[in-house]
Structures are given as structure tokens and as C-alpha cells.
Amino acid sequence: MVGIQSFGAYVPFCRLSRSEIAQAWGGKSGGGEKAVANHDEDSVTMAVAAGMNCLNGVNPQSIDGLYFASTTFPYKEKQSAALLAAALDLRSDIFTADFSGSLRAGTSAIRSAIDAIKAGSAKKVMVIVSDLRTGYPNGTHEKDFGDGSASFILSSDDSLAVVEGSYNITNEINDVWRSDKDTFVQSWEDRFVREKGYLKVLSETVSDILKEYNMDAKDFNKVVFYAPNPKLLSAVARKLGFDPKIQVQDSLYDMVGNTGAALAPMLLCAALEKAEPEDRILFAGYGDGSEAFILKVTKQIREFKPNRSVQIQLSTKKMINYQKYLRWREIIPVQPPSRPPTERPSAVALWRDSKGGLGLYGVKCKNCGTAQYPAQRVCIKCHEKDQFEPYRFADKRGKLITFSHDNLAATTDLPVTVAVVDFDEGGRIMCDMTDKDSDEIKVGMPVEMTFRKVRYAGSIYDYWWKCVPVRI
């Protein structure tokens, strides 16, 4: 039976208190805080983070397919899943696809992965969902939206939760949308969105799947639903006869916010972290229709230890102010640094350096065993020529050898912390440090690697790796 073999979520380190927004514009804050992608993050980098959390000991080379879902891809034309596969070190003879266009892109990708495995075209499919949507300043969406991602490996065996059933409805409606010319999310009048959109379609889908599989509300230990906000989640739960306090997975609105296509998948990760064998979970996404799944947790769940749980990520954070948020999202233009404009990266050099740059591969000398980054032709230690094996640094931890907080660098967010890192298993890298509290940086502190956007120039996004204090 097809099921979930592994899962991992990613909650950005930075948070913005809703009262900060309210303070700037006036009006009610709504309470709590939202998770905010750093200035060097986007849907792709958050996807890599969730993917790394999800791989959690699974050999990346064993993955047969990668489906990436988001409504906020960095490129309109150019596959983001291919970029993810390179960063996550997946094989090249696999099926990769981007799923987009709807807030249920994530559940659609999960559904497609299940179908592919059932049809026998793949054994192990990785699904990653990531979103970074922007609401109009001083609008409800701005307060509601958060950023984040989730990843699952679906497989025909070793499942910690099996998929007992699935069901979906398609529904053409302009309730919440973004045209190809929009930066900010649009929506129709609240009452229409609520009555004829979310409440109607989600409850129909859930009622239908229960009917189809001959179950009722009492058969479920947990229900995990996409919801634009906690009020609507309670409303739909009550309408369907679920106990909001006991059965309904919390929407994380107070700590993360509505992460769009990634919300239901992230909530499923949070639910699975607390699940017990034999638990039954009802999982549903919404957007231009709805998809629902019935999951049954197996005893395998006891063997599974999440790699950086949602709980841990919720408790490790840094508050930012609203001014930073506006700057990071390029909502207000600011005076550019007094530096020459960034030149466009060479597509040729990016292509040639794909394994080293995206996969963070260096080499290890077969003669003297010295790990080195970037890849060399002549060993830095023993000077042997071409006696190397590829060596990946992305998943290795290290220690901070030295650093500086640089206020002069041309970047969106100063200071840039520049760092020298020695890996615990050998090798050194010089890179930027991100997701940090400058006052707490100390020589010798443990760090790990994270995939980030290092520049955008000439319509090309340039991604590389940075170090980050270990998030425990």
C-alpha cells in the first residue's frame, strides 16, 4: 500500500509580530506572529530546507521522482524541480515536475505521486511544497500570510502512514487568485469567499470521501485541513461534526500564518509528529476545488524520529521589524548601496559548476584523504593531480573558525556575517552566515549549511550555500 515513508517541514527562522504591522498602519493586530522568509530565501530555498529535513537518512539516490508544488516559483519559464533535484543531490534519470496554479498544488502533487506509485512508474517519489505569498500592505492577507515548506517521501513500502483513500472535487471560482500581472494576492468579497468557496467546497469534499469510504467523523483521531484563518477552520470543523479542540490540527496561525499551498502539508507534518500507531488522519487541501486523503498511521511511526521537528523550528526564531519585511519583499524601494551594479552571472559558468555550486560537492583526495572545496585538479595538501573522489559538504556540520559582521557589503540586509567554517569531517569553506543573531556569533560555534539565493541579476537567480548556526 502506498504511504508516507518520511516527512520534514521547514519554518523560516525570522518572524514578524502582527502587532508590528498594526502599529505601522493602525487597526487590529489579530495577534501572534508570522513566519517570514529571510531576504535570501524563496520558495526554492525553503523547499531545499524541507527536502533536507525529509531525506533524514534516506539515500537521495534512491528517489525516483520529484514533484515540486508552489504558487510562487522564482521562474515563470524554467523548472524549479530540476533546480531542487540538483541541490538535493537526486539522480538525473528521474521524473521531475512543477505543480502550480492553485493553493491545492501541494495536495495535487501528493495525489499524483500516489497515482504514479500505484501505477508502478515509480517506487519512491519525493513531494515538496513551498510558498512565499505577499499580501497588499495594510491588508488582511499581509497579516495572515506566512512562509514555509513541507516535504514527503511517498513509497510503496516502509510507510509510517498508509493512504487508505483519496477523493477530489474541481471547482471553477475567483475567490482567491493572482493574475500573471499581480504581485499581491487578490480576493473577492469575504462572504462570497467563505460561503461559496472554502466552506462549501471543503465540506462537500470531506462529506463525499466519508461517504465513499463508509466512515464518519468519529473514525478520525486528527483532521488536517487547509484554512485561510483559524476562524474558518473552526467553522468548517463544526459544520462537519469534528471537535475543534480534540480532533482538529491547530492551524499554526499564531506562529507561522497561512503558508498557501504549503499550509496543509506543513500541518500534516506537525500532526504526524504527534501521531500514534493506528491513528486515522483526514487530510485535505483547498483551492479551485479540493483534495482529501484518508491516512492510517502504522507502527513504523515509532521508529521515525523527525529531523528537526516543527516544534523545534517554532521555538528557534528571531523577530524582525516591519521595515525589514517591506525591504526584503521589495515592497518599498530603498536607496541602493553605493556600489557598482551586480553583473549578471554567466549561464555557462553556472551550468559547468552545477554540482559544485548547487550540490555543494567538493572533492576528497584519494591519496591523502584531504577534503577540499571547491573541487580542485591538484590536491592542496599532497599535490597529487586528478586523484579525487566527489565529496558532498551540504549535509556536513562544522565549526566557525572566524567571522566578521560586514556593513559595507552590497546586500539587502546588513550586516552580512562572513565566515570561515571547518567541517567536522574535514574540509573548509568560506561563505556568508545567515539566520543569525549577530550578538551571539562566537568563534567555535557549531554551524550547518543552508541553500540560499545569493543574487539576482539579469533575470537569473544565483543560488549557493551559506552557513547557519545549528538550529536545535
Residues at the interface with another protein (CB under 8 A): 338-340, 343, 345-346, 349-350, 353, 356-357, 370, 372-376, 380-381, 401-411, 415-416, 418-420, 422, 426-428, 430-432, 438, 443, 454-455, 462-464
* CA atoms of 135 and 272, how far apart (whole Å): 30
HSE-up (13 A, CA, CB side) for residue 60: 18
Choice between 226 and 403, CB closer to another protein:
403
d(C-alpha 356, C-alpha 374), whole Å? 7
Residue 381 Cβ, how far from another protein at the closest point, in Å?
7
Amino acid at 42: D
Q: Which amino acid, 102?
A: S
Strands of the sheet with 222-225, listed across from one edge: 95-99, 65-69, 124-131, 148-155, 3-10, 161-170, 289-297, 280-286, 222-225
Smallest separation (angstroms) from another protein to the CB of 380: 5
Cβ 43 vs Cβ 73: under 8 Å: yes
Contact 158, 5 (CB under 8 A): yes
Q: Before 415, cis peptide (omega within 30)?
A: yes
Closer CB to another protein, residue 265 or residue 427? 427
Least CB distance to another protein at residue 176 (A): 36
Q: Measured from the CB atom, is 10 or 393 closer to another protein?
A: 393
Helices 80-87 and 43-55 cross at an angle (nearest 10°) of 40
Residues 305-334 as b/e (b if ≥16 CB within 10 A, e otherwise) read ebbbbbeebbeebeebebebbebbbeeeee
Tell me the three cell numbers of residue 128.
515538496
Residues 6+ apart with CB under 8 A from 115: none
Rounded-to-integer distance, Cα 176 and Cα 258, Å: 13
**What is the rounded (10 degree) CA torsion for 116, 117, 118, 119?**
50
Phi, psi (deg, nearest 5) at residue 195: -75, -45
CB 374 to another protein: min, Å: 4
Q: How far is the CB of 458 from another protein (least distance, A)?
A: 11
Min dist CB 70 to another protein, Å, is 23
DSSP 149-160: EEEEEEESSS-S
CB atoms within 10 A of CB 100: 17
Least Å from the CB of residue 409 to another protein: 4
Q: Provide the minimum distance between the beta carbon of 390 and another protein in the complex, in angstroms, as a whole number.
A: 13
Nearer to another protein, 238 or 381 (CB): 381
Q: What minimum distance in Å lies between the beta carbon of 455 and another protein? A: 8
Collect all residues with Cβ–Cβ distance below 8 Å to 72 and sequence separation of at least 6.
42, 43, 130, 131, 132, 133, 260
In angstroms, what is the minimal distance from the CB of 19 to another protein?
Answer: 30
- For residue 376, the minimal CB distance to another protein (Å) is 7
CB 450 within 8 A of CB 435: yes
Distance CA 158, CA 164 (A): 15
**CA-based torsion, 243, 254, 50, 115: positive or negative:** positive
Whole-number minimum distance, CB 329 to another protein, in Å? 19
Local structure of 96: helix, strand or coil: strand
